[in-house]
Copies of this chain bind each other. A is one copy, B any other.
Amino acid sequence: MKQNIYDNETFYTLYDEMRNDDKKLSANDLIEIPTIRGMLPDLRGKRVLDLGCGYGDNCAYFAESGAKYVLGTDISEHMIGIAKSTHMNSNCKFQVLAMEDISSIPDKFDIVISSLAFHYVEDFDKLLKDIHKLLKENGLLIFSQEHPIGTGTILNDACNEEDCIDLGNKNYFLVSDYNVNGKRIVDWNNCKVVKYHRNFSCIINTLQRQNFKIEDILEPTPSDEVLAKKPRYKNQFDKPYFLFIKAKKL
């Protein structure tokens, strides 16, 4: 099932508010964006596809970094509308398209990037197979997702909506159902959002099965600078928020 939660007004009103915060203190701003951009190769002259591009900010960054062609796709008309109006002066192209339907894209790319979107897709094998076809020889796939130690856990009422607990003045994350891959329904921005949990072996074996060679995996910890801005992010030493993978098409 294709989920289009980013076109749900209840959801996007709160999501836009969070992401547009001028202080730029979200985990996206402080951790995810700098990390995934730090994994990029030299983009000059390259053709780049951004799957689940959202507001298109990464696309604009790729174009500014010298990419000769950038296509951003997203299932959400709301997001693509903002991307087009915000980045109308860039040479990026934006298209409403679900990640389940990317095999319809006729172009080939040097790099496929996806930021925090793969965990919305149920069929990871098909997604990687489609990406493999869209990549040129030796092309790169670079993606981030919510960290699998976190995505598995199913909280109940006794957890009081908290995924961690304080014991003896030390933080512990609560982990359950890590080894049960599949659908999770989580409350986010007053909506029920569907995500798909995949444990590490599933992620890595699927990449291997679909003929990708892993080049780098990152589970970032916050820098001192980030901690000064947001001290509670020190809990990423206990469990990373995100997982980043760079893999080459074989």
Residues of A near any B CB (own CB < 8 A): 149, 153-154, 156-159, 165, 167-180, 199-201, 204-205, 208, 213-219, 221, 236-240
Contacts and interface: CB of A to CB of B under 8 A. Distances in A.
B167 A172 contact: no
Contact of A178 (B149, B168, B204, B215): B149
A167 B164 CA distance: 12
Contacts of A236: 179
Nearest to A217: B201
6 contacts: A156-B167, A158-B169, A165-B174, A201-B219, A204-B217, A205-B216
Contacts of A204: 204, 214, 217
Given A165-B165, A199-B219, A170 B175 contact: no
Contacts of A214: 204, 208, 214
B149 A175 contact: yes
B158 A170 contact: yes
- Kindly name the residue among A158, A167, A218, A219 whose own CB sees the greatest number of chain B CB atoms within 10 A: A167
- Kindly name the residue among A156, A171, A176, A213 whose own CB sees the greatest number of chain B CB atoms within 10 A: A176
A204 B179 CA distance: 19
B238 A177 contact: yes
A176 B168 contact: no
Given A179-B238, A219-B201, A159 B167 contact: yes
**Closest 3 interchain pairs by CB?**
A158-B168, A172-B174, A158-B167
Contacts of A199: 219
Contact of A238 (B156, B176, B215, B216): B176
Contacts of A167: 156, 158-159, 165, 174
- Kindly name the residue among A179, A216, A217 whose own CB sees the greatest number of chain B CB atoms within 10 A: A179
Contact of A219 (B179, B215, B237, B239): B179
Given A174-B174, A175-B238, 11 more contacts: A149-B149, A153-B172, A158-B168, A158-B169, A172-B176, A176-B238, A178-B238, A178-B240, A179-B239, A201-B218, A208-B215
A178 B164 CA distance: 14
Contacts of A173: 174-176, 178
Contact of A221 (B158, B179, B217, B218): B179
